[in-house]
Amino acid sequence: MGKIIGIDLGTTNSCVSVMEGSEAVVIPNAEGKRTTPSIIAFVEGGEIKVGDPAKRQAVTNPTKTIASIKRFMGHSFAEITEEAKRVPYSVVKGDNNTPRVDIDGRLYTAQELSAMTLQKMKKTAEDYLGQTVTEAVITVPAYFNDAQRQATKEAGEIAGLKVMRIINEPTAAALAYGLDKKGTDQKIAVYDLGGGTFDISVLELGDGVFEVLSTDGDTHLGGDDFDHVIIDWLADEFKAEEGIDLRLDPMSLQRIKEAAEKAKIELSSSAETEINLPYVTATASGPKHLVKKLSRSQFEKLTDSLVKRSMEPVAKALKNAGLTVSDIDEVILVGGSTRIPRIVEEVEKFFGKKASKGVNPDEVVAIGAAIQGGVLSGDVKDVLLLDVTPLSLGIETMGGVMTVLIEANTTIPTKKSQVFSTAADSQPSVELHVLQGARAMAADNKTIGRFHLDGIPPAPRGVPQIEVSFDIDANGIIKVTATDKGTGKSHDIRIEASSGLTADEIEQMKKDAEANAEADKAAKERAEKLNEADSTIFQTESQLKELGDKISDENKTAIEFALTELRMAHQSQDIAAIQKGLDNVNAAWKTATEAMYAQGEQGQAAAAEPQAEGDNVQDVDYEEVK
């Protein structure tokens, strides 16, 4: 069995880890960074850049640079209309009511774009391990619903990965934190504020068992929202002074977005920061510059509602776990946004204790995913993970009520059945409207699927017995079965997001991803070959200048002719012609150097030969002394 890698697929950054012996190792990417921006860019020539290279060109290519795509995962288009207004790229309505990103008329799903980041993580691991990687554990926010989990799994499949387990991010963090503390019993709270989502999980650790007691959160609260508060403040201030709304221009929006993120980060360690954006826009009167100072106290006032919003699920999770703050032994902060001082202050104030600084908030989730991968492959022993379903599951019944079959925070995997009946006489079929959420009425919850059970024999209302069973696997993915107990006829579906993809679409996207990988490989090989040609031309020219007087005219002419051919091939960017040119230059140079060394050896041999007797004998006069 090959290695099962652990991937934290984040809104802002992603990270990959793998078990090496008994330790989980975070793998640096090709740029030498331990985390990779979850950013994809489509550039001229059809090339796709992922990670830091994509981030670096975002200002000059804002409409084709995709960030924070995780916020669209598993949603219908109707659910993300407000989110779509906040990004510089075009989000349109696609098939099955899905949100799609429009790049030059080609519509990409959130799954396809996330798969590009996952491919980068896969390649990073393969380069490090020196072997092909096909299996992964991928993390999701604990409060992700079934549609969002399905979408994440689909992204893994498109990237060429068999997703062995979907694991909740706070649970993964607890695994990483608690693996070396298996001998102690502890109750811990994991506060996880990432780039786009927020989770709180309460767990009990003991004897290698990691049991989630409760989880809560907000899938639309994260570092992006803190950035947008600064973006709106900057844009409103500039509009008041200059009468121009920078949010309407994609390039200006991208510049203030990057400046806002930078300011937020700087305010974690400084009392004040200056935002300086020269030439942010221009009018008929000339260029306009944006210069503003933002203090930490001002930033805290602007984001006060966001901080308070994060604390509401914390109180709820603690209540659902049946615990008080005094029962919590350790508080762990996860996610880059927990570096904001006000967040740390509020969390510590709520729990009445210092938060643990023993884990890296950017890497701990990927490490936990790798540990779970180790558990699945048998490399990690004596660890049992008991997670929960974050939201209640049920079906719509008479009056538009949601009848709950599985309560939120039920340990998974789990199965639950309940018998229902018909609402009308001689009803031939029933429609099952499957819901997930926490509200009493069906209309207020998330629809995760609909299906029909047909062929019910005619009978008075209330007589037929329809048994509905929910089965949730360890990934938190749901299967629903309806059985007519009278006839034994049943129908089941593995719930797929109502706004999701068909199996054929996933397969096609997988093929497209593989084709993109081949295209990326070809582009890399072309760049490397061009660099090799550049280097060979430079070195050969230098050596000709240095050693030209020692090379025969015939050999020098051959080298110069081969160099001319190589320069022409380099300009054409024809890889085959470049390779031929390189071979010809190397062959001509080899012939010249062999002749040069042969000539040198002949000269040394001649100098070393003994002189023949009688050669160069000179007559001299001498006088005999008596």
Report the alpha-carbon distance of residue 213 to residue 318 in Å, rounded: 9
Report the alpha-carbon distance of residue 101 to residue 90 in Å, rounded: 6
Return the closest-CA partner of residue 15 out of 369, 356, 374. Answer: 369
Q: Which residue has the tokens 């762990």?
A: 332
Return the closest-CA partner of residue 510 out of 3, 119, 2, 48. Answer: 119
Backbone Cα Rg of the chain: 33
Over the range 491-520, which residues count as b (16 or more CB within 10 Å of their CB) and which as e? beeebbbbbbbeeebbeebbeebeebbeeb
Report the alpha-carbon distance of residue 465 to residue 484 in Å, rounded: 6
Report the alpha-carbon distance of residue 503 to residue 187 in Å, rounded: 42
Report the alpha-carbon distance of residue 433 to residue 446 in Å, rounded: 10
Report CA torsion sign: 139, 145, 151, 154.
positive
Active site residue 70: yes
Report the alpha-carbon distance of residue 452 to residue 321 in Å, rounded: 36
Report the alpha-carbon distance of residue 51 to residue 39 in Å, rounded: 5
Question: Quick one: 143 exposed, middle or buried, by C-beta within 10 A (0-12, 13-18, 19+)?
Answer: buried
SS3 per-residue string spanning 488-506? CCEEEEECCCCCCCCHHHH
Angle at 417 between CA 414 and CA 420, to 5 degrees: 155
Output DSSP code: residue 356: B
Say which of 169, 199, 216, 224 is annotated catalytic: 169
Say which of 3, 55, 64, 70 is annotated catalytic: 70
Say which of 3, 8, 123, 288 is annotated catalytic: 8
Report the alpha-carbon distance of residue 564 to residue 552 in Å, rounded: 18
Active site residue 169: yes
- Is residue 410 within 8 A of residue 389, CB to CB? The reply is yes
Active site residue 8: yes
Say which of 112, 157, 192, 387 is annotated catalytic: 192
Question: Quick one: 574 exposed, middle or buried, by C-beta within 10 A (0-12, 13-18, 19+)?
Answer: middle
Catalytic residues: 8, 70, 169, 192
